[in-house]
Every structure is written in C-alpha cells, then in structure tokens.
Amino acid sequence: MSKTYDWSKDRIQVIMLAGSQALVMSGSSLIMTITALTGAMLANDPALSTLPLAFQFVGMMCASIPASLLMGKIGRRLGFTVGLLIGITSALIAAQGVFTSNFWLFVVGSFGLGVNNSFASYLRFAAAEVVDKDHRPQAISYVMAGGIVAAFLGPWLATHTKEWFEPVLFAGGFVSLAGLYILSMIIIWSVKFRNETINNELHGPARPLLEIAKQPAFITAVLAATMGYGVMSLVMTATPLAMIACGFQFQDAAFIIQWHVVGMFLPSFFTGKLIQKFGILNIILIGTVLNGLCMALALAGVDLMNFWFALVALGVGWNFMFIGGSSLLTQCYRETERSKVQALNDFLVYSTVAAASFSSGAIQNALGWSWVNTVVAVPMILALLSAVWLKALTKKQSVHQASE
C-alpha cells in the first residue's frame, strides 16, 4: 500500500467484520452467563458444572489449527461460513441436551460451539489483512470493539430467553444462538475480502515454524494473549458459581457478567490508538497490572461491588493483553507464514483457556473463590516479565543501531 494510504476506505469492511464479531460474541456472552448454571442443573456432580464450558474451550483449542489452515486454503469467507454452520448445528444440539436433560449431549453441543468460536477468533486477523500494517492495531481493536454489543445483548438474551420453554430453563438461550450465527453469516457474505493469493517472491519464502517461535517478540505476544485470556477464563467461569454460593441471584450474576464484558470490549474503541501512542509493550504491561488489581479486589471481599470492580478490571486487563498480544504477533511473520503462525498462537491461547476452564469449577468447589483469584498471580508475573524482557532487548537493539 502507498504512503498516501487512506484507511477510511477499508474501515467500512473492518466495521462489517466488527458487526459479525459482535453477533458471535453476543452468543459467547450469553454462553458465559448460562452454561455453568445449565451444567449445574444437568450434572449429577457439582464439580462437573463447568465441564460444558470447559469443553467449549476444548473445541476452540482443537479447531484452532485446522480453522486457520483451512482458511489458508479456501479463504476467509468460506472458512467463516464453515465455522458458523457448525455453530448453528451445535446450538441446536445443546438446546436438545437441555430439553432432554442429557448432560453429555449438552457437552457435545458446547464443544461444537467452541469450534465455531475458534473460526470466529480469526476475524481479528482478517481485519488486519484488509488494512496497511500501520493500522493493524486499530483494525484489530475495532473488530474487538464489536464485543461491546455482546455486553448488553448476550446477558439480555440470557435473561429474556431463560423461560422461553418453561418449565425447561435455559433452552431458549441456545436456540437464540442459532439466530445470532445466521445473522453473522449474512454479514460475512457482504464483506469484500482482499485477494488472498500470496506472492512468495514478493513476501519471501516461509520460514520453519520453530525459527519463528524462537523470536522474543513471538514469545511475548503469545504469553500476553495466553496468560491474559487464561486468567480471564479462570475467574470469569467461576464468577456465577461463586456469586450464587454467596447468596446472590441469577440476575445479579448476569449483571456482573454484563459489566465484565463491557470492560472487555469498551476499551477497544481506543486500545488501538493507545498502542500507537504508547507502544504495544506498555499496553500489555498495564493489562497485567489490571489483572493484579482484579485479584486484589476479589480477595478483599464478596460484596456485589467487589465482584463488579474485580470483573471490570479483569475485562479491561484482558482487552489490553489480548489486543496487545495479537497486534504484536502480526509483526512476527511474513504473509507466507500467517496461517501457520496464527494457528500456533491460537492453539496455545485456547489450550490455556481450556485448562483454565477445566480447573475453574474444581478450584471453586474444592477451595473457594479466594483460591480461584490467588492462582492468578503466577501467569501475570510470567506475562509481565516477558514484556519487560522484550522492552530491554528492544532498547538494547536501538542503542546498538544508534551507535553504528
């Protein structure tokens, strides 16, 4: 692209991708609100209550590599369509599991919903590909901003569809998911994706994946995204269960999740610009500090406002770390390498998220809310040290270049 590039011409495509993301994330927000409670309703053992949500993240993990490689072969439009068709089918399977009180059928449906979410997670990279490299953080940020719709639409649907098929609770929420995914597919088919033919002579041959993964920037990018997302999943998954255990009502849990999602996505309207102004690494570091604040607030008490402040801080911390990590990742690969590098990154992210989701319910039931938040310290220290390390390396390289 030329130096006179005007990204406003491509901003319409980014906004459309943000709309598709908003619908998918509204589904995810709805799932966050009701899946653990639905699991508790269907499971014989309370420790299994978060298993369906954990299997959603397992689905994301398992599909992350195939989804990226498939898109590399058939393109973004058809790739996203495949994911959404899987999502529609899985939403109906999950609903059937609720209707028949079949816990394991519900788990199967949750797994498929995760597969769809894995495909949809590449919307952020698709946005980065329709703009020039200087505007990639903004494009990623704008697409993630679509999630602000999810902060309100998801919990609203969870509350208003809860009794659609009374006396069977929560089935309506999963039926409504299918409608969200159909609307998202319509938008995808309206987006003008760029020509995805990659010229090896122009971009250079693809390097071995291990060579790419050894880059300090790649390591920091992956740690920021994995630790940020893993911590968010661990705490968020346990929150509705912890609140119910503390005597709060379902509506209270839905309210907290709603504001958590606001914290996750509202900053996206300016995260890209903050990255341009202050640098990716500084934004990642602020994200780790916010996650530490979440831990402190959660450990300080179990009043409604403790949950509110902690989950909002958790959401903003996730935003800075995930968008920062995703933006940094785009600097680590050539166009010929993007499918496999994005696949490895998202596989590592959703492997961590799946592990966090599996352990969340067990920790909450066995040890309680305090321990759920105490374990946050270790991954945040790892991410923080990695960002500090890369800052030091970058500064050293700048001094060396200046002296030459």
34-48: per-residue pLDDT in tens?
Answer: 777 787 788 777 767
Encoding tokens for residue 99?
A: 């209707």
**Banded model confidence at residue 289, pLDDT cuts 50, 70, 90:** very high
- Cβ-Cβ contacts under 8 Å for 3 (sequence gap 6 or more): none
pTM score > 0.85 for this model? Answer: no
The dihedral through the CA atoms of 100, 84, 270, 346 has a sign that is positive
Encoding tokens for residue 346?
A: 């998202």
Encoding tokens for residue 353?
A: 């998220």
136-194: per-residue pLDDT in tens?
Answer: 888 888 888 877 887 788 878 888 887 787 787 778 888 889 999 999 999 999 888 87
Encoding tokens for residue 309?
A: 């402040």
pLDDT at 249: 85
- Cβ-Cβ contacts under 8 Å for 197 (sequence gap 6 or more): none
Q: What is the DSSP string of 248-314?
A: --HHHHHHHHHHHHHHHHTTHHHHHHHHHHH-HHHHHHHHHHHHHHHHHHHHH--SHHHHHHHHHHH
Q: What is the DSSP string of 289-304?
A: HHHHHHHHHHHH--SH
CB 372 within 8 A of CB 244: no
Q: What is the mean pLDDT of residues 251-279?
A: 86
What structural domains and CATH numbers belong to the chain? 10-194+208-397 (1.20.1250.20)
pLDDT at 1: 44
Query: What is the Rg, in whole angstroms, of the alpha carbon atoms belonging to the chain?
Result: 20
Answer yes or no: is pLDDT of 278 > 50. yes
